[in-house]
A and B are shown apart, each in its own frame.
Chain A
């Protein structure tokens, strides 16, 4: 029993089957890569997992509990320990970097409107804790986010927005981090840095699921790969197994 066990996950958009009877077990502490051609259902998988789409069928069990993740509401999932970033960068543009990351910690707070109005000490303590956690998370990326912490997110560079999204997800203290094409828009040097960053995050006990097209990046990062095509898992295993598998080559390049 791993951290995440997914069985017969299915998602249909009308007649299109985006995910078909998808089974997967994610072990605690691993970095698992997901590859596949465009439209193979990778992002749909993340969307279903984080409750943005409703699955048609299947069960997702987190951390050995018997609680199906798919029955939870969208906003409850991050509190259970599954946080994500987005492929098409979606930071809160007009909030500052610090505020963005603090929103990520929202699920770890409890204070409501009355404690805010009366300025109860609990609410203040919570806010300070959240701010401290946000600063902690930013240090993962060295000086890059900290030096920008009061700037609006839209003024950030492409790469920094990616980092910001990762930091925002981490502020929720997740067990499982879902990264959707984290290196898109980064130059090779930045990708290398990100490789170290993700390894560091993983070393703090966060299991990482990563979607990425850059195979060199995946080779260095992931212990295990899963390849998808037309919403089906075609192969699962080490980098070399997957890379040289005939069906993977077929999915990317077509048949002779």
Chain B
């Protein structure tokens, strides 16, 4: 689009500013290339990830990788609400807790199979997502953020105080490992390798779900709400329905991560679902670039992986991470893979 068009002279302005690469930002363009990667490339990448447990011997490293994957699922869920629909949610850990406690209680007290507790947790997450979505839809921006903050606190406090159900601060211990298969053929998922494959399949599921919904009519309606909700309503988008749907979808993914967390740790307690947890989850899509799926993945690697790499620096490592985040926001406020947003054209 660099050549000037002659008919502009009579018809006036057809802006032909810059090339696509500059407009999108380098990383976003790279991500676009990656998405168009040939099928073989994708399969090769998949194989590398599948062979990862064979190549990495250290249990510590595997644990870090599993945590990164867990946070990818969590952050992808939040990305739906924050990145696609543009609603700030500071209480995502509430959905995470919902999934974790559902799995823990159903497995421990009712002896249910892990595979049944996952849809149960996701369903309960959806119910909570709708419960928070419906009454708060008239609120915007900061007000909605305050409500979600409160909601996160409510779930935390309930988990901390409902002794009969959650055993309060003592938590629920000895959650059994899930099994794959039936009867004599059951394979327990109790090694780091097995857990890695489990969470990896969750990550794949999440990525596929997010891509499919993003590219659908629903995803388009969500982005329209993000851009301008009044205009979206005039263009026929039912704000109540679509915002609630966004919260519900996000909650389902949060609960999915929670279910995994419960069986992986074999222990859940309210301390895993504090506001700090929500804040960590929020930073991931922001660093990666709101609305970007590859960005969210890279964001999780940075936010969860970096503090581990800098573990040698002991107390200073959080300072390093903090400094990194400050620099990010100054030099690349749209995130690593984020598209350059229109507002930033007017930066002084």
Q: For B231, B234, B249, B339, which residue has the most chain A Cβ atoms within 10 angstroms?
A: B234
Q: Contact: B14 with A93, CB < 8 Å?
A: no
Smallest Cβ distance from B81 to chain A, in angstroms? 14
- Taken together as a complex, chains A and B put the C-alpha atoms of A126 and B215 apart, in Å, by 12
Assuming the A-B contacts A106-B221, A117-B213, are A51 and B234 also in contact, with contact meaning beta carbons closer than 8 angstroms in the complex? Answer: yes
Complex interface bits, A79-122 against B, C-beta within 8 A gives 1, otherwise 0:
10001101000101111000100111011010111011101000
Q: Contact: A107 with B236, CB < 8 Å?
A: yes
Q: Contact: A79 with B236, CB < 8 Å?
A: yes
- The interface residues of chain B lying within 8 Å CB-to-CB of A168 are 235
Complex interface bits, A177-213 against B, C-beta within 8 A gives 1, otherwise 0:
0000000001101100100000000000000000000
Q: Contact: A50 with B12, CB < 8 Å?
A: no
Q: Contact: B15 with A157, CB < 8 Å?
A: yes
Complex interface bits, B218-259 against A, C-beta within 8 A gives 1, otherwise 0:
111101101110111111111100000100010000000000
Assuming the A-B contacts A158-B13, A160-B14, A190-B11, are A123 and B234 also in contact, with contact meaning beta carbons closer than 8 angstroms in the complex? Answer: no
- Taken together as a complex, chains A and B put the C-alpha atoms of A83 and B230 apart, in Å, by 14
- The interface residues of chain B lying within 8 Å CB-to-CB of A249 are none
B209 at the interface (CB under 8 A from A): yes
- The interface residues of chain B lying within 8 Å CB-to-CB of A86 are 231
Assuming the A-B contacts A104-B235, A159-B13, A172-B235, are A92 and B223 also in contact, with contact meaning beta carbons closer than 8 angstroms in the complex? Answer: yes
Give the total number of A-B pairs whose CB atoms are below 8 A apart. Answer: 133
Smallest Cβ distance from B33 to chain A, in angstroms? 15
Smallest Cβ distance from B347 to chain A, in angstroms? 14
A59 at the interface (CB under 8 A from B): no
- The interface residues of chain B lying within 8 Å CB-to-CB of A26 are none
Q: Contact: A94 with B342, CB < 8 Å?
A: yes
Q: Contact: B235 with A123, CB < 8 Å?
A: no
Interface residues in B1-40 (C-beta closer than 8 Å to A): 1, 10-15, 17, 23
Number of interface residues of B (CB under 8 A): 40
Q: Contact: A172 with B236, CB < 8 Å?
A: yes
Q: Contact: B339 with A94, CB < 8 Å?
A: yes
- The interface residues of chain B lying within 8 Å CB-to-CB of A51 are 233-234
Interface residues in A117-155 (C-beta closer than 8 Å to B): 117, 119, 123, 126-127, 130, 144, 147-148, 151-152, 154-155
A1 at the interface (CB under 8 A from B): no
Q: Contact: A160 with B230, CB < 8 Å?
A: no
Which residue from chain A places its CB closest to the CB of B218 in the assembled complex? Answer: A113
Which residue from chain A places its CB closest to the CB of B9 in the assembled complex? Answer: A189
Assuming the A-B contacts A94-B341, A111-B217, A154-B342, are A117 and B12 also in contact, with contact meaning beta carbons closer than 8 angstroms in the complex? Answer: no
Which residue from chain B places its CB closest to the CB of A186 in the assembled complex? Answer: B12
Q: Contact: A126 with B231, CB < 8 Å?
A: no
Q: Contact: A90 with B342, CB < 8 Å?
A: no
Having A78-B235, A95-B223, A155-B15, one finds 10 other A-B pairs with CB under 8 Å, namely A75-B237, A75-B238, A83-B235, A92-B231, A93-B227, A103-B232, A106-B236, A109-B217, A111-B216, A111-B217
12 A–B contacts from the bound complex (CB under 8 Å):
A51-B234, A78-B236, A92-B227, A95-B224, A103-B237, A106-B224, A106-B235, A116-B216, A117-B209, A130-B217, A151-B23, A157-B12
